Amino acid sequence: MHALSPRQRATLVRLAGGLLIAALFAAHAFHLLELPLVSSLENLAYDGLIRRQAETAPPSEAVVILDIDEKSLASEKLGRWPWSRDRISDLIALIFDHYQASVLGFDVVFSEPDRSSGLESLRALAEGELRANPDFQRSLRRLEPQLDYDGRFENTIAARPVVMGYYFSGDAAAGRTGGLPAPVLLAEDLAGMDAMIASLKGYGANLERFAAAALVGGHFNPVVDRDGMVRRVPALIDFEGDYYESLALASARLYWAIQDSTRGAALRLQSIEPLGPERTAAGRLEFLRVGRRTLPVDQEANVFVPYGKFGATFRYVSALDVLEKKLPVEMLSGKAVIVGATAPGLVDLRATPLSGIFPGVEVHANVLSALIEPERAVNLPHRPSWLMGVELLANLVVVGLLALLLAWLAPVPSTAALGVSAAAAAGAQVWLWESGLVFHAATLLLATFAIYLWNMAYGYFVEARTKRQFADLFGQYVPPELVEKMAENPERYDMSGRRKELTVLFSDVRGFTSISEQLSPTDLAVYINEYLTGMSTVIRDEGGTLDKYIGDAIMAFWGAPVDEPRHPLRGVTAALRMREELKRMIEAFRVRGWPELAIGVGLSSGDMTVGDMGSKVRKAYTVMGDAVNLGSRLEGLTKQYGAFCLVPSATREACEEIVFREMDTVRVKGKAEPVTIYEPECFASDASDTLRKELDLWHATIRLMRAQRWDEALSQLSLLEEVLRREQREDHRVGVLREKIERLRAFPPGADWDGVTNFETK
């Protein structure tokens, strides 16, 4: 087996980390563990959707809240709470007999006898001091029905559709006060259901006589989530194996029964039937059927509260205004009325997605309204089991695929993948919400974001460290953009020696000794630093690898460590740009009064050995070989020919885009084979007609010289000099060539001359 490359190892580590994160979030989705951050985000998303729905929800037309408000408590008629049962009986009678309300539900508990009438004191006198007083006994028997406020209250609720409220507690030590109504379901009714209904131990209920007198009762317990928010209410609560309905559900059942009775049917509360996902009496609890209506619940028999706009959904009417008949009858006629308190000291405030100070009575009013007002188009949010299955599948498949994908992708496509997946998850949640379904996209969102962060963090802290090490290794030689490219696949690059076709460049300042004598040490340092910086920038801009500085000399090469198929062209282009940079520097140095700058450049292309070479004491990434030596020799010959740059045939032939001037055929020191050398003039697209005419005359002169036709060669050269005079230009190379021809004419090389100029020095 082949060993894994560093990049493959990094990908596997990123993949393993991503899959581990995916598994962690999948465990949360499967309820094997809970991730608090995910739960919090799920709640935030849900709350946002609830608030969005509440803003557009129409006001309720069927539910009214009878308010035990500050005005009522301040009145002489009612006074402070608790009011006498006599007054409450008057209030109930008015609500039904005068205002013709349909149903009345109490978000209030009457757990203690009313002794405000003084009846107990009179009975004590009748049994004691006034036992023998017949007048007192007769008067007591006559007044007793009027002074028995609890009895009157009992008779009042027994004769009317009243729902008595109560509460359960989870603490058995809190006790059990009052009497519970009859349960709506028994343990055997849920025998075939997979339900996890909350089982509570204690309760605070109404006096048994009131519980027995009322047609129905319902608890007003909310479900308080870990963050203190009320988002659901339990439709059913388990107490000692029996199941009791909520205030909203009991009020709705009674409301439906009243409606049915107006159509001639007997007043009969419809039974409650638990149903599973397929609306059958088996499987995971998902619905409660009440007659022909189906109520969506979760496995704990909880109902999501479909909140309307806070303060604008329900009409609050003052208990005092009702008692004094100040309201129009139609305001309560046919309505379901819930009694609750908003007065300070009595109000039951809850934290909800809409507000941190939300009246508890309005929580139940929202559920009741959704049950009895389907025309409001405010759905009871539902979270069916099939949708939970979709969530699990999405977390297993989508998150797993993203873990695989992000391990391979670069940052930009990874960010795009994150954006697409996040937008899809959020869009799915909103779209399903519009259909009344509660989809939790938070697990999917956080899982993808966590995997994205893992990959980015790994890339930054681990891969970036590798890239920094790589940059430290090659950055001093190679342009930053090439280092970045190399770092993407570091396994492809190393500093070990290898044979490769490259192009090498040498440049040197002419007369540097003279320059150094004319400048102070400080100015000389600035002079050479600016020169080296300018030329090095050109080389790096052209993708060259800076090998070294040798005093004022520069050595660079193309084609390693990053492959460059057109390395000869990049090298020659760099030389042409160096010539332009030299002109700029000459002007800048002249302004400072510094000596004029002149350089020579030698280029050579061919096979070379490239790698980290040197001793145990010091190594350098460099090139060696005959082609390298040739480049160095050509740089030295530039002064001999008055040329700025010289290249051999191998370099010229690889640069069709460049116009060259043939300079000579030479045999440099250390090489037996002659080499034809050229100077690059410009890009072919930039060559003028005048330049092409000059080159024609120049090359004709070279051919005549090699043919030893000295006079004709000098004649051609004179024509070239005439062209230059007309152009008002000087070309030092023409003078050098004239001197050479005249020297050959004076000392002919002989008939066997091959046209090659031999150099015995470097």
Most confident of 7-16, 187-196, 685-694: 685-694
| pLDDT at res. 1 | 46
Identify the band that residue 562 occupies on the pLDDT scale cut at 50, 70 and 90: confident
Is residue 700 classed as helix, strand or coil in its secondary structure?
helix
| pLDDT at res. 527 | 94
| Mean local confidence (pLDDT), 339-368 | 91
Pairwise CA distance, residues 495 & 613, whole Å? 9
Distances (CA, A) of 119 to 123, 126, 138, 146, 516: 6, 10, 14, 9, 124
Output helix, strand, coil percentages for the chain, rounded to the nearest 5: 50, 20, 30
Pairwise CA distance, residues 687 & 599, whole Å? 23
| pLDDT at res. 391 | 81
Pairwise CA distance, residues 631 & 505, whole Å? 6
| pLDDT at res. 489 | 60
Reply yes or no on whether the pLDDT at 49 is more than 50: yes
Q: 714: part of which helix (H) or strand (E)? A: helix 710-726
Least confident of 33-37, 133-137, 570-574: 133-137
| pLDDT at res. 421 | 83
Mean pLDDT for the chain overall:
87
Least confident of 381-385, 566-570, 594-598, 662-666: 381-385
**Is the CATH number of domain 494-683 3.30.70.1230?**
yes
| pLDDT at res. 377 | 65
Give, rounded to a whole angstrom, the gap between the first and last alpha carbons of the chain.
52
Identify the band that residue 156 occupies on the pLDDT scale cut at 50, 70 and 90: very high
Give which of 509, 510, 508, 581 is closest to 542, Cα–Cα: 581
Identify the band that residue 653 occupies on the pLDDT scale cut at 50, 70 and 90: very high
Helices 134-147 and 149-158: crossing angle in degrees, nearest 10, is: 40
What residue segments make up the domains of the chain, in order of their start?
Answer: 6-54+384-470, 63-115+163-376, 494-683, 688-754
Digit-coded pLDDT (tens) for 707-759: 999 999 999 999 999 999 988 888 999 999 999 999 999 999 988 888 899 88
Whether 321 contacts 327, CB under 8 Å: yes
Reply yes or no on whether the pLDDT at 3 is more than 70: no
Digit-coded pLDDT (tens) for 225-258: 999 999 999 999 999 999 999 999 999 999 999 9
| pLDDT at res. 458 | 67
Reply yes or no on whether the pLDDT at 2 is more than 60: no
Least confident of 1-15, 302-316, 677-691: 1-15
| pLDDT at res. 611 | 85
| pLDDT at res. 336 | 96
Least confident of 436-445, 471-480, 637-646: 471-480
**Separate counts of helices (H) and strands (E) for the chain:** 25, 29
Is residue 617 classed as helix, strand or coil in its secondary structure?
coil
- Listed in sequence order, the residues at least 6 apart from 141 whose beta carbon sits closer than 8 Å to its beta carbon are none
Reply yes or no on whether the pLDDT at 677 is more than 80: yes
Give which of 537, 657, 545 is closest to 608, Cα–Cα: 545
Identify the band that residue 76 occupies on the pLDDT scale cut at 50, 70 and 90: confident
Digit-coded pLDDT (tens) for 247-286: 999 999 999 999 888 776 667 888 999 999 877 777 889 9
What per-residue string of b and e applies to 398-418 under the rule 16 or more CB within 10 Å gives b?
Answer: bbbebbbbbbebeeeebeebb
